[in-house]
Structure 1
Amino acid sequence: MSTAPTRATLGASSFTASALGLGLMGMSDLYGAADEAESIATIHAAMDAGITLLDTGDFYGMGHNELLIREALRGHNREDVEISVKFGAQRGPDGSWLGIDSSPAATKTALAYTLRRLGTDHIDVYRPARLDPNVPIEETVGAIAELVKAGYVRHIGLSEVGAETLRRAAAVHPISDLQIEYSLLSRTLEAEVLPAARALNIGVTAYGVLSRGLLSGHWTSDREVSPADFRGHSPRFQGENLNHNLRLVEALRVIAEAKGATVAQVAIAWVASRGSDIVPLVGARRRDRLAEALGALDVTLTTADLAAIEAAVPAGAAAGDRYAAAQMAHLDSEH
């Protein structure tokens, strides 16, 4: 039986949630088809195991993910979970990406629709999904601060922004957490972004802890990827990049097996070991994958283990960027 997640308090705003969260994107979008009944069962299993932090975006399946959460929470106490919502990504009816809009009016409009889809009167953490190049971060945070004052939002978060943006945002209103990709294969935040967040008392909710499945221990070089799965276009999953990255996974597997753990469990435990101010988000879409992820809570990494992991997968060892060039251009955190 896996250990239940402890509680974590993030940021100056004292946002409290489970120390392991569930990222729901793949249940609606971007990873190919998902089973809705299994998705809801997985959310229920996560809640039963003590996971209370549910992370979504209003653009995941163009609202489908929020409706999925609403259905999963039917008959449950809303106060038993913390819902984190990203907004601002604009999409067409064909699913195409149209840019970012986190202007004050768009921010408030998006929240109105999110509250209706979720069937709730408040969001625990509300955050722009990316920095809008046309809107100063002060204006976006100021608009969310008005929503906090009105009781519609409890905490303000950010996503994939750099150190200077963090500082500017925190000058307007306390920021609970920065959501950003962090894994053994994605560590660029360690240079400037993470130190800035810590100096500002801003926590981190880390997504992509298994690097989109690369670090799951289940990915193979001959796996067929559906046209609806964005990993088919991700640089890390292409050609020799993929072969190189899978060799890193096999080096990690040796360490995991010596500990009686899986590759995924060691990868999640490594992120969790980075600090009590970091909450890993696991993107399990099925109950068996969730059970495996929860097993990471029982993995204790010693100093020797951490040294072995660093030797097997050194910082910067991944081949290929974490997104295609067009998406990388939207990451303030990488500039």
Structure 2
Amino acid sequence: MKYVQLGKTGPSVSTLGLGCMGMSGLYGPSDRKESIATIHAAMDAGITLIDTGDFYGMGHNEMLIGEAAKGVDRDRVVLSVKAGALRDVAGGFNGIDNRPAALKNFIAYSLQRLGVDYIDIYRPARLDPDVPIEDTVGAIADMIKAGYVRHIGLSEVGADTIRRAAAVHPIADLQIEYSLISRGIEDTILPACRELSIGITAYGVLSRGLISGHWQKGHGTTAGDFRAFSPRFQEGNLESNLALVEALRGVAETKGVSVAQIAIAWVAAKGSDIVPVIGARTVERLEEALGSQAVHLNPGDLSAIDAAIPKDAAAGGRYPEAMLAHMDSEK
């Protein structure tokens, strides 16, 4: 495993991160024993960046990570926590609350569930339209002074918001979706982050399994699985997107690697300031993802990949239209 500093001021992290959202139900049922085994295997492989959200399973995910990391040297784990998303009893989402008082309340519960004294990177999950980003960042800066947070991150915000946030306090990284079929950040967001020396932690690098090489037409989704209403998994769009995956499979086979490995390696190859965060839920999928670290893509490979999956080739949006309408990164 290799390591890189997140941005100019962030922590040193592994060049591959583990995103744990799928271990708490948002992609259908998960196995607790397998989830903990996967977290342990990631740590054993040298992965230090562990990403979660206090609203994943309404606290379940943080407790799971806390259990898995119990007894592990605290310096070996870089905990990235998103906050601010509100849930209801049925599991639905009720908007965003990034008021300073709310965030200071949320972190108190996160520290308890994770079983730690501080969080390495704390970030609002989305922009709260009713709270200036300056107030949100200022509140997290207060928590840094109090010793409860080490670094500030952002998530799914646009270039203007990034600049406003960075004017208040140094920002370690922006967490945002980035993959072969989700390349919107290349236009203004990625340049803004590079201008300000802010790292990128890229989630959705396999587009929720769609471009992993394992998803097939006919695969079902259960109640509560995001993919059940994701536009790219809907009939018509799915067939078109899987055709792109088959084109990518040809490039992967030429390299002697899997589709997932070449898709992850492509994200990593877009810059040393970009850290792919993979959502492996099993040791098997984690091991496949780890194999991407050994994949070197030369200019010819990158050209072949772009020919297989041109920019904006995906059918359907990365989120439903109603959700995209509220995302600052899409404005």
**TM-score over 0.5 for the alignment?**
yes
Aligned match for 1:231, one of 224, 227, 230: 227
8 Å Cα contact 2:65-2:114 kept in structure 1: yes
Unaligned regions of 5+ residues in structure 2, if any?
none
Q: C-alpha offsets along residues 264-299 of structure 1, whole Å, 9 cap, x if unaligned?
A: 000000000000000000000000000000010111
Aligned match for 2:58, one of 52, 55, 62: 62
Corresponding position of 1:333 = 329
SS of the counterpart of 2:112? Answer: helix
Corresponding position of 1:301 = 297
Distance 1:53 1:14 in 2: 12
TM-score (structure 1 length as normaliser) = 0.98
Which residues in structure 2 correspond to 1:261-280 (within 5 Å)? Answer: 261-280=257-276
The AA in structure 1 aligned to 2:47 is I
Corresponding position of 1:82 = 78
User: Shift of residue 331 of structure 1?
Assistant: 1.3
Query: Is 1:94 aligned with 2:83?
Result: no
Query: Is 1:311 aligned with 2:280?
Result: no
User: Shift of residue 29 of structure 1?
Assistant: 2.3
What's the RMSD between the two structures over aligned residues? Answer: 0.6
Distance 1:127 1:275 in 2: 22
Aligned match for 1:170, one of 149, 166, 172: 166
Corresponding position of 1:133 = 129
The AA in structure 2 aligned to 1:259 is K
Distance 2:190 2:132 in 1: 22
User: Shift of residue 74 of structure 1?
Assistant: 1.6
Distance 2:321 2:279 in 1: 23
TM-score (structure 2 length as normaliser) = 0.99
Corresponding position of 1:283 = 279
Aligned match for 1:123, one of 119, 123, 133: 119
Distance 1:97 1:66 in 2: 18
Aligned match for 1:260, one of 246, 256, 262: 256
Q: C-alpha offsets along residues 31-84 of structure 1, whole Å, 9 cap, x if unaligned?
A: 000000000000000000010100000000000000000110122112210000
User: Shift of residue 88 of structure 1?
Assistant: 0.3
Corresponding position of 1:184 = 180
Corresponding position of 1:249 = 245
Aligned residues: 331
User: Shift of residue 300 of structure 1?
Assistant: 0.6
User: Shift of residue 239 of structure 1?
Assistant: 0.8
The AA in structure 2 aligned to 1:122 is Y
Corresponding position of 1:203 = 199
Corresponding position of 1:25 = 21
Distance 1:13 1:113 in 2: 26
Distance 1:14 1:21 in 2: 15
User: Shift of residue 194 of structure 1?
Assistant: 0.2
The AA in structure 2 aligned to 1:160 is E
| % same residue | 65
Query: Is 1:37 aligned with 2:50?
Result: no
User: Shift of residue 96 of structure 1?
Assistant: 1.0
The AA in structure 1 aligned to 2:225 is D
Corresponding position of 2:7 = 11
User: Shift of residue 93 of structure 1?
Assistant: 1.4
Distance 2:28 2:220 in 1: 11
Q: C-alpha offsets along residues 136-174 of structure 1, whole Å, 9 cap, x if unaligned?
A: 000000000000111100000000000000000000000
Range with greater deviation from structure 2 (67-76 or 173-182): 67-76
Distance 2:191 2:156 in 1: 14
SS of the counterpart of 1:214? Answer: coil
The AA in structure 2 aligned to 1:261 is V
Distance 2:182 2:10 in 1: 27
